[in-house]
């Protein structure tokens, strides 16, 4: 277990040795395996990895919205402002959701209720959590839509989710998430399926709102471009585990895990000469049958016999940096 704090101040969120599994007819799927990281007040913390690496499941565990069954949190702690969310009652956790912790989901069209107007859905949070009258809640809903730059915001309160474009729906989700001014916002792939211009607008909007509110942001993504743009610190996940944590600048300058190295090598660069990209060979493991030893060893160019049998811990590379690789020094040096 590693608690990684690189800036001054007490952590707002501490995820410690979190494990989540799905018990299915075909066996147990170990989606999250002893994941640990911290998020400090006001910072942008990115959780990076391929689809199926456990990013979204760990976020849903933080929010307490996993369906049980089949999902089961089998170990660990999730502390928000020092309080373990896994030990509090459901009623208390409901009060925290939206009020102090909020989430923007990947697919806004399915996250929004199609049979209610967007104005009603935003106003409902204000009525339930803040006790606002219908008129006051509607007024604040219009202000929130205007704040996320939806044109003619007051006139669009009566529109349904399908009447908005993909980018506008994502703005509606952000407005809902910020309605109660949370201290922590979890954004799960907030720019997926949006064109690059709209992606840039959404990221700019999140950064602006974060600066205004002073909230912490956990950004879940597979997009290295998004991470490079906004993240302070990064946790890289693979096969349900954190395999590297580092400041964003240090991670992009010199990765300390072969998986991170592979991700960076597979990204096209404007400055590079024309040529073939270097994809990571093979495929992520089946989480119901994770291989022994290091889960990445079947795809790793640095592997040695020890990697097939010995699962590496998160080694301390330097202050504020960890890598789950027996040969992280080779990776840092760029040796094969």
Same domain? For 128 and 275 the reply is: no
Give the integer Cα–Cα distance in Å for 112 and 160: 9
**Which pLDDT score, from 0 to 100, does residue 273 have?**
63
Residue 8 covered by a domain: no
Give the integer Cα–Cα distance in Å for 15 and 235: 12
pTM of the model: 0.90
**Which pLDDT score, from 0 to 100, does residue 201 have?**
86
- Angle CA(331)–CA(282)–CA(55) in degrees, nearest 5? 75
**Which pLDDT score, from 0 to 100, does residue 1 have?**
37
Same domain? For 17 and 129 the reply is: no
Per residue of the chain (336 residues), what is the pLDDT tens digit?
A: 343 434 446 899 999 999 999 999 989 999 999 999 999 999 999 999 998 899 999 999 999 999 999 999 999 999 999 999 999 998 888 888 888 999 998 888 888 999 999 999 999 989 988 999 999 999 999 999 999 999 999 999 999 999 999 889 999 999 999 888 999 999 998 887 778 888 888 888 888 888 888 999 999 998 888 888 889 999 999 999 999 999 999 999 999 999 999 999 888 776 656 567 788 989 999 999 999 999 999 999 999 999 999 999 999 999 999 999 999 999 998 765
- The number of C-alpha atoms within 13 Å of 122 and in the hemisphere containing its C-beta is 35
Same domain? For 143 and 89 the reply is: no
Same domain? For 51 and 142 the reply is: no
Same domain? For 192 and 166 the reply is: no
Considering 153, 179, 205, which residue would you say is the last residue of a domain? 179
Considering 121, 144, 179, which residue would you say is the last residue of a domain? 179
**Which pLDDT score, from 0 to 100, does residue 335 have?**
61
Residue 127 covered by a domain: yes
Considering 157, 179, 201, which residue would you say is the last residue of a domain? 179
**Total domains in the fold of the chain:** 2
Q: What DSSP designation does 309 have?
A: T
Boundaries of domain holding 164: 108-179
**Which pLDDT score, from 0 to 100, does residue 3 have?**
36
Give the integer Cα–Cα distance in Å for 209 and 214: 8
| Nearest alpha-carbon partner for 235 in 324, 318, 312, 311 | 324
Q: Got the DSSP string for 75-115? A: EEEEEETTEETTTS-HHHHHHHBTTTEEEE-S-HHHHS-TT
Q: Give the C-alpha distances (Å, rounded to integers) separating 24 from 3, 28, 69, 70.
A: 31, 6, 9, 7
Residue 299 covered by a domain: yes
Residue 60 covered by a domain: yes
Same domain? For 70 and 112 the reply is: no
Residue 174 covered by a domain: yes
**Which pLDDT score, from 0 to 100, does residue 95 have?**
85
């Amino acid at each position: 277990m590693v608690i990684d704090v690189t800036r001054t101040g007490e952590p707002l969120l501490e995820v410690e040795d979190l494990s989540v599994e799905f018990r299915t007819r075909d066996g147990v799927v170990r989606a999250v395996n002893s994941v640990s990281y911290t998020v400090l007040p006001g910072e942008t913390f990115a959780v990076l990895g391929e689809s199926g690496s456990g990013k979204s499941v760990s976020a849903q565990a933080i929010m307490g919205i996993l369906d049980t069954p089949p999902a089961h949190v089998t170990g660990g702690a999730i502390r928000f402002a020092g309080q373990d969310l896994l030990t509090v009652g459901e009623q208390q956790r409901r009060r925290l959701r939206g009020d102090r912790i909020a989430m923007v989901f990947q697919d806004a069209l399915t996250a929004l209720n199609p049979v209610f107007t967007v104005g009603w859905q935003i106003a409902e949070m204000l009525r339930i959590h803040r006790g606002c009258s219908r008129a006051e809640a509607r007024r604040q809903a219009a202000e929130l839509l205007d704040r996320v730059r939806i044109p003619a915001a007051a006139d669009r309160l009566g529109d349904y989710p399908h009447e908005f474009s993909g980018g506008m729906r994502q703005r509606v989700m952000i407005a809902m998430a910020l309605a109660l001014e949370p201290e922590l916002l979890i954004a799960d792939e907030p720019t997926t399926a949006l064109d690059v211009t709209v992606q840039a607008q959404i990221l700019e909007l999140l950064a602006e709102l974060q600066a205004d509110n002073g909230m912490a942001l956990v950004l879940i993504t597979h997009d290295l471009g998004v991470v490079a743009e906004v993240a302070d610190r990064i946790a890289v996940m693979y096969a349900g585990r954190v395999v590297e944590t580092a400041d964003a600048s240090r991670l992009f300058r010199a990765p300390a895990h072969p998986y991170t190295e592979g991700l960076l090598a597979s990204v096209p660069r404007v400055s590079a000469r024309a040529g073939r990209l270097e994809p990571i060979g093979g495929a992520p493991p089946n989480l119901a049958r994770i291989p022994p030893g290091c889960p990445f060893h079947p795809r790793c160019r640095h592997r040695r016999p020890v990697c097939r049998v010995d699962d590496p811990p998160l080694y301390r590379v330097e202050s504020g940096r960890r890598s789950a690789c027996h040969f992280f020094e080779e990776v840092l040096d760029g040796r094969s």
